[in-house]
């Protein structure tokens, strides 16, 4: 903080304004906006070109002059400008002011997220009460090294005999479900979550990317209003980024799920 304050003091520009009272002058310090704010010069497909944010960081959240909360993220750094991806289907015009938050992309994390449906930014979308969390975790973090990781020693049962008998899956292990369309990939994932809610002990996070809102609503009703609703409200989180949302939010959805899981 001290080094930042020193830089701010160095960036103070003294400008003189004549008020028309003879030799009477007013000296007004103006903060150099080259490091704190920028201007949108062009925007296309949810990506804005911003000039002026020379000290911006990659993955840093930004906000515009029309809002008080972060609604964008710096994605690419160039010599004279930065590329900013806009959250949601917000429309900004040429000349809109953009400000730094000096905080990398992060989402609120809380145990109250269990039993709720949230979006890629960690905000609830199920119509319930908002979750106030003071703990924020960075979305893009360095993965733990192989040596520091705990070895896989406990099995993770999916509830499907054919998979459990032939494919050994352990707790902490990553397992891909690959297949063509309409072959039952989502059914395998839902059955695995259902088996853990009934007989298991794991926390589950279901991330729906690019699906229709109606399909996600059916899955949510199945878990939170069905026979396993009590257990689901204690150990299941649903992250929804439907096909109608911006590509930026769909891009962030899996990162949000991994961050909450960690």
pLDDT tens figures, 222-254 = 999 988 889 999 999 999 999 888 888 998 999
Given this chain, do its domains 1-104 and 107-261 carry the same CATH topology? no
pTM: 0.79
Q: What mean pLDDT, rounded, does the chain reach?
A: 82
pLDDT(23) > 60: no
In the chain, alpha helices (H)? 2-10, 161-166, 185-199, 213-224, 229-235, 247-261
Residue-wise pLDDT for 155-190, tens only, equals 999 999 999 999 889 988 888 999 999 899 999 999
Report, at the CATH architecture level, how domain 107-261 is classified: 3-Layer(aba) Sandwich (3.40)
Q: Could you tell me the sign of the dihedral formed by the alpha carbons of 85, 91, 93, 99, in that order?
A: negative
State the burial class of residue 99 (Cβ atoms within 10 Å of its Cβ: 0-12, 13-18, 19+): middle
Q: Give the torsion through C-alpha atoms of 126, 71, 30, 17, to 10 deg.
A: -90
Domain ranges of the chain: 1-104, 107-261
Collect all residues with Cβ–Cβ distance below 8 Å to 211 and sequence separation of at least 6. Answer: 240, 242, 243
1-104 classified as CATH 3.30.420.40? no
Cα→Cα distances 169→152, 174, 177, 249, Å: 9, 8, 12, 30
Nearest to 156, CA basis, from 198, 114, 192 = 192
What are the tokens at 80?
Answer: 């004279």
């Amino acid at each position: 903080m001290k080094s930042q304050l020193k830089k701010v003091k160095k960036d103070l520009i003294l400008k003189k304004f004549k008020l028309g009272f003879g030799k009477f002058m007013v000296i007004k310090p103006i903060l150099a906006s080259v490091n704190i704010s920028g201007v949108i010069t062009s925007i296309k497909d949810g990506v804005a070109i911003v000039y002026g944010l020379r000290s911006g960081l990659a993955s840093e959240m930004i906000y515009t002059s029309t809002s008080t909360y972060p609604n964008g993220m710096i994605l690419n750094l160039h010599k004279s400008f930065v590329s900013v991806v806009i959250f949601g289907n917000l429309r900004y015009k040429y000349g809109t002011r953009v400000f730094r938050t000096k905080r990398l992309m992060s989402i609120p994390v809380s145990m109250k997220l269990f039993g709720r449906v949230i979006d890629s930014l960690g905000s609830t979308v199920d119509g319930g009460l908002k979750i106030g969390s003071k703990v924020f975790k960075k979305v893009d973090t360095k993965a733990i090294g192989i040596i520091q990781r705990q070895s896989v020693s406990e099995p993770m049962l999916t509830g499907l005999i054919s998979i459990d008998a032939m494919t050994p899956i352990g707790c902490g292990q990553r397992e891909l479900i690959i297949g063509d369309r309409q072959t039952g990939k989502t059914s395998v994932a839902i059955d695995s979550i259902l088996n853990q809610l009934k007989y298991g002990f794991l926390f589950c996070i279901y991330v729906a990317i690019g699906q229709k809102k109606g399909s996600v609503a059916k899955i949510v009703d199945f878990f939170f209003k069905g026979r396993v609703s009590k257990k689901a409200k204690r150990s299941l989180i649903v992250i929804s980024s439907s096909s109608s949302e911006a590509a930026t939010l769909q891009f962030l959805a899996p990162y949000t799920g991994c961050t909450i899981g960690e």
